[in-house]
Every structure is written in structure tokens, then in C-alpha cells.
Amino acid sequence: MTAYVLQRLALMLVTLFAIITLTFFLMHAVPGGPFVSDKMMAPEIQAAINAKYHLDDPIWVQYLNYLRGIATFDLGPSFKYAGMSVNEIIAQGLPTTLKVGVLALICVVSLGVPLGIVAALNRNRWPDTLVMVIATIGVAVPSYVIATVALYFFALRLGWVPTFGLDDWRGYFLPVFALSGFWISFIARLARSSLLETLQMDYMTTAKAKGLKPGQILFKHGLRNSLIPVVTVLGPVVANLITGSFVIEQIFALPGIGRHFVLSITNRDYTAIMGITIFYAAVLMVMIFIVDMLYLVLDPRIKYREAR
Amino acid sequence: MSQPLLSVRDLRTSFFTSRGEVQAVRGVSFELRPGEILGIVGESGSGKSITCMSLLGLLKSNGKVIAGSALFEGEDLLQLDDRDLRRLRGDEIGMIFQDPMTSLNPTLTVGEQVIETILRHRRISRAAARQRATELFELVRIPSAAKRLRSYPHEFSGGMRQRVMIAMALSCDPKLLIADEPTTALDVTIQRQILALLRELQSRLGMAVILITHDLGVIAETADRVLVMYGGMVMEEAPVRRMFARPSHPYTRGLLASIPDLRDGTHQRLTPIPGSPPDMRRPPAGCPFAPRCRNAMAQCVKALPPIYEVDAGHGSRCWLHHAEAPRVEGINELVPA
């Protein structure tokens, strides 16, 4: 088992290396550069800037230099935010993004799963229909629509919550709601169909034939088996939520890292693109690894063996 | 004759589907005495499993018992509320299912699945329940019982899993064991072992058994008495020896004729029963077997025959037993010995 874990960790490093390499060369293959879009610049200034950021070095020299930085966890200086390193950009935005993301995750798990269970247990009756109608809307309507409509009603018309920022605790409501809405709906639908499938299994009839009480049957025999697909999805969902969302952070003017995903690309901020991508990839890989470990707890049929 | 343990009267069960009402069980009656092994035989869709699922309230949500009574030790199972029924299930009445590969929960140890049944019905400590589970595993001959309690179902073979199911069903000393096709999903050699085990446990523990199967060989080896079901009804009922020696219903005769006989060494072709079972959404007004019956008469299509008592404890639902019916050799005319 230890050998397997070590092997997985090694594989994660290899994957990360591949992602870094691919992103690096793809990024440089795109025309333009960090300082091209700026207002007319004298050629000598342009050359000086390129020399300062080593953009005039051959591409493989830049690549090796970048790798050397990564090895010491240094993601380099930002090309757009003068005087700031990419490490600082992430460190600055992460707390905000994490706070909103973790709250959203709590909502997803504590609302999505129970709603799915309620729907499954009331199949084709009104609670099921209600949950499924809301969940379908939640999956179909984009988060920016939910966010703007909610902003209009609750902040502008009713004045219950501030329109932007997180200075007030009430400021968390709308961003968390907008961020988690899709995933609550998604998880509710998944939990419902998974539980419905489990309820059809022969061992559920066995549990009933043994005289177990409905609560015992549902929680001990039904839930664990039906949660396996939910846990599978939750890994990437966690990675997604705690790395923030460009749209939500933009609409609610939150100083998180989500917006850098998009801004760094339009800015051609090479080091920021790399840093944010590596950060997201690392979080995602760790989450998938955690999910794979959770399988061991949830399903005794799963055993891992190291490859030879 | 002793008081019956279970007395089922005119049981009717239907499934309500989007394509109409499926009348799966249409007036089944039978009695079961303590310690007796009753075989219920019939092809798929004959209503044999649904009959037993109805007794324990284990029908899928679109299934409903429409009429009838089922007195178990004086209590009508069909009138009990959920709570009282749950108290009986797994305690007074144990049940074994067809497919041991899917009937055990894959995420719980087999020991836990037996122990939870005991703890549900008995006020004893977990340690005592574990001890009891170990004894049960020994009883059904699972080797190194104490150790195997900690195994998961996927670590067992099919036959071993069925032994676990039997241990679970017997965990609270039931008075009645319902075995729904207990050997159908198993290899032939394992089938024998499981049947032998069931028979041995039955004579040792003295419970009554309802054995549902489509396999006449299983019936011949195991049962004391047989019900032959077709189209949701009992067609013939007889002690097992009598059923094989003197089948009185054309359907039973057809079933027996379709068993290969290996003894005489001749290569005879099997005699199949032509046609297929009736559509239970529109069950025929007359005898459900009439369309496939070689002895069918005009009367058979018009009206459902009653069960005629052709001998003590031997009933047969066929118009040929009517006093005015034509003589048919083997059914209402004795074959000369």
C-alpha cells in the first residue's frame, strides 16, 4: 500500500511536469507577448524590457530557467503587476477564494446529497418533482445569470445583502449561492439516480427481508453504496470550487485568484499563466488522489496494487 | 393432522404498470404444516415468487396484494402493519434468495450482515451475537468460521455466499424458511451440496420450508408436498411421490414429460409443451393452460375449472376430473398396472 501511494505521488510529479512543459510551449506558440499590446514603445525600451525578463533568450533557455524556479517553488515575477511575484498573487487571492469556495463546498455536500435522497425516496411524488425541477434549472442556467438576478433582487431591490465585497458577513450569501448552485443541482441529481439504482439492488430486498428498520436499510445498506459515484465527482468539484471562479469573482468584485485564470491569459502574463495553471493542476491531482483513497474506505472490493 | 403453521387463502396480487394491471397471482390457497417442506414449482411468471413476496410484504412499490388472507400462527400476515411485519421478517420467517452474488451487500462484512440480523431481533450483546454468528457459520459448514466473519462477500464463492445467506436466514431460529430458487444460480455440484445442507438443517432444526423452484429434480429430492403453479394459480397439489407417480393435471404431465430420462439408454427426443404462458394483463377467462393443452375441450376456454380432489391431499384444477368429462388415459382413467 505504501509503495502504491509513493508510486502515485511520483506519477503526479510526472503529470505535473508534462503539464508545465505543454503549457509553456503552447503559451509561447501563441502570437504576441506580455508587452506587445502596450502602447507604442520605443524599440530600445522594448529590447530593454525583453532583456530584463529574459524574453530575448532562446525559448529552451527560458524553459530551463523556469523549471529551475519551479524546483524551488518560485513561480517567478508577474509580467503585468510590477513588483509582484506570482507566488504573491496566489497568496493574496487564495484566502478569499478559499473562504467562498469552502462555504460553497459545504453547501454542495450538505444540500445536494440530502436533496437527492429526499427525491429518490419520494420518487414520482411532489418532493421529487420539486427537487428535480429546481435542480434542472440549477444545472441549465449559467451561474452569471443566477448571480446577476440574485444581485438585483436581494442586494438592489430588497437590500438584504451588500452588492459587492466580503466585509460584511452577509456579503458571503450571494457569491456562495451563485458558486454552489450548479453543483448542488448536479450532486442532487446524481445522488438521486445513484440511490434509486441502489434501492433496486437485491441486497436491499435482503435487508428488508431480515426485518431491518427503514432507517437502517437506507443509511447502512443504501447510502454507502450509492455515495461512491458522488464521491467520484466531488474530487474535481472541490478542486473547481477552491480555485475560484472568474465570473463570480468578477460580478461580486471579490479579490480572489479565480479571475487571474482569465486575466493572466488576456494579459499574456506568462509567469502568471504558468503559476495559476500549475496551482490548479496540483489541487486537482491531489483531490483525485484523495478520492481514490476514499474508495478504499467506501468499497472493500477495491484494492490497489503497485504496477510492476 | 396438526394445526397448519401457515394457511394461505385466495391470495391475489397485482402489479400496476403503465401498460395496465398485471394479475400475477390469482387466487392461490395452500397450507403448510410445521416442519413440512412444500415445493412450489412453475415456470417464470407463474406467480410462485410473487406469492411468497406477497406474504412478507416484499413486493416492489407497484405491486399490491388485492385480496386473500395468510394466517401464520393465527396472525394474518396480509393485515399486519409494517412494524409488526418487520418484527416477523428475519425472526419467525427467514428468507433465501436466488442469486447469492447480488443478495449480499458488497460493502459490509458477511459477519456484520448476520450479526445485524441477530441484533435486530434479539436483546443480546454484540459479542454474544458474534458468537452466535460463528456457530451459524459452523452450522452451514463454512470453514474457519470465526475468521470468515470478517470477510467481504466478494471474497467468497457462490456456494459459500449461499451458505452465508442460509446462516443469515436461520440466525433467529425461524419457524418458516422461504427459499426462492436457492440453487438456480449455482453450479450443479454446488446445487447438490446446498440442497443436502438445507434438508439436513430442516430435519435438525425442524422448521417448515417453502422451496420455490422451476426445477422438478430439486422438488423430487427435497420436498414433502408440491404445488404446481401456472398463470398465477395452483394447477395441482399433491404429496411429492404421488405427484411423480400419478400426475393428474395435463400441465404437470407435460412438465414431467419434458424431463430427459437417462436411465433406459435410448436417445429419445424431449417432449416440449408448445406455446407460451398467458399474458397476465389479460388473463384468460377459462383455464390458463387451455391454449397449450393437448386435452383442451370447449369448456376449458369458457370457464375456469375448480380444484377437484382426486385423492386424499391430491388436488387438480382440470375439467377432465368432472364426472361427465371424456375419459383420458392417465388423468381420469387409471392406467392398468
For residue A178, tell me if it sits in a domain: yes
Does B116 contact A at CB distance below 8 Å?
yes
| Residue from B103, B164, B166, B178 to probe the interface with A (highest A Cβ count within 10 Å) | B103
For residue A33, tell me if it sits in a domain: yes
Parallel/antiparallel/unpaired status of strands B37-41 and B225-230: parallel
Tell me, what CATH number does A280's domain have?
1.10.3720.10
- How many Å lie between the alpha carbon of A285 and the closest alpha carbon of chain B? 26
Residues A67 and A151 in one domain: no
Copy the grid coordinates of residue B205: 432444526
Does A201 contact B at CB distance below 8 Å?
yes
Indicate whether A153 pLDDT > 60.
yes
* Under 8 Å between Cβ of B209 and B197: no
Residues A23 and A102 in one domain: no
Can you give the pLDDT at residue B160? Answer: 93
Contact residues, chain B, for A122 at CB < 8 Å: none
Identity of the residue in B103, B107, B120 whose CB atom sits nearest the CB atom of A224: B107
Locate the chain B residue with the closest alpha carbon to A300. B107
Does A136 contact B at CB distance below 8 Å?
no
For residue A305, tell me if it sits in a domain: no
For residue A81, tell me if it sits in a domain: no
A26 in the Ramachandran plot: left (φ > 0), alpha (ψ -120 to 50) or beta? alpha
Of A71, A106, A122, which residue constitutes the final position of a domain? A71
Indicate whether A306 pLDDT > 70.
no
- How many Å lie between the alpha carbon of A276 and the closest alpha carbon of chain B? 39
Contact residues, chain A, for B87 at CB < 8 Å: 211
Does B99 contact A at CB distance below 8 Å?
yes
pLDDT > 90: percent of chain A: 46
Residues A145 and A44 in one domain: no
At residue A143 the predicted structure's pLDDT band, cuts being 50, 70 and 90, is: confident
Locate the chain B residue with the closest alpha carbon to A208. B58
Strand B233-239: give its sheet, edge to edge: B93-96, B176-180, B208-213, B37-41, B225-230, B233-239, B314-316, B308-311
The predicted-structure confidence for A23-72, as pLDDT tens digits, reads as follows 999 988 887 777 776 666 777 887 888 888 888 888 888 899 899 988 88
Of A10, A36, A71, which residue constitutes the final position of a domain? A71
User: What's at A120, amino acid-wise?
Assistant: A
Can you give the pLDDT at residue A290? Answer: 92
Can you give the pLDDT at residue B1? Answer: 53
C-alpha distance from residue B261 to each of B213, B253, B266, B270 (Å): 20, 14, 9, 9
User: What's at A134, amino acid-wise?
Assistant: I
Can you give the pLDDT at residue B337? Answer: 44
Report the domain count for chain A. Answer: 2
Does A65 contact B at CB distance below 8 Å?
no
Residues A104 and A46 in one domain: no
Residue ranges of E strands in chain B: 6-17, 20-32, 37-41, 63-72, 75-76, 93-96, 176-180, 208-213, 225-230, 233-239, 308-311, 314-316
Does A121 contact B at CB distance below 8 Å?
no
Of A15, A40, A71, which residue constitutes the final position of a domain? A71
Residues A104 and A49 in one domain: no
- How many Å lie between the alpha carbon of A222 and the closest alpha carbon of chain B? 9
Residues A134 and A17 in one domain: no
The predicted-structure confidence for A242-300, as pLDDT tens digits, reads as follows 888 888 888 888 888 888 888 888 888 888 889 999 999 999 999 999 999 998 888 88
Inter-chain CB proximity A211 and B120 less than 8 Å: yes
The predicted-structure confidence for B161-212, as pLDDT tens digits, reads as follows 999 999 999 999 999 999 999 988 888 888 888 999 999 999 999 999 999 9
Inter-chain CB proximity B102 and A203 less than 8 Å: yes
Can you give the pLDDT at residue B276? Answer: 85
Residues A55 and A159 in one domain: no
Residues B66 and B328: their CA atoms lie apart, in Å, by 37
Query: Which residues 217-236 in chain B show a CB within 8 A of chain A?
Result: none
Range of the domain at A117: 90-298
Indicate whether A307 pLDDT > 70.
no
- How many Å lie between the alpha carbon of B81 and the closest alpha carbon of chain A? 13
- How many Å lie between the alpha carbon of B284 and the closest alpha carbon of chain A? 31
Residues A195 and A152 in one domain: yes
User: What's at A146, amino acid-wise?
Assistant: I
Span B46-66, average pLDDT: 92
Contact residues, chain A, for B104 at CB < 8 Å: 203, 206
For residue A306, tell me if it sits in a domain: no
The predicted-structure confidence for B245-298, as pLDDT tens digits, reads as follows 999 999 999 888 887 777 766 667 777 888 888 888 888 899 999 999 988 899
pLDDT > 70: percent of chain A: 97
Does A303 contact B at CB distance below 8 Å?
no
Residue B324 in 3-state DSSP?
Answer: coil
Residues A159 and A54 in one domain: no
Look up the ipTM and state it: 0.87
At residue A303 the predicted structure's pLDDT band, cuts being 50, 70 and 90, is: confident
Can you give the pLDDT at residue B140? Answer: 93
pTM score, whole prediction: 0.83
Indicate whether A11 pLDDT > 90.
yes
Parallel/antiparallel/unpaired status of strands B93-96 and B314-316: unpaired
Indicate whether B143 pLDDT > 50.
yes
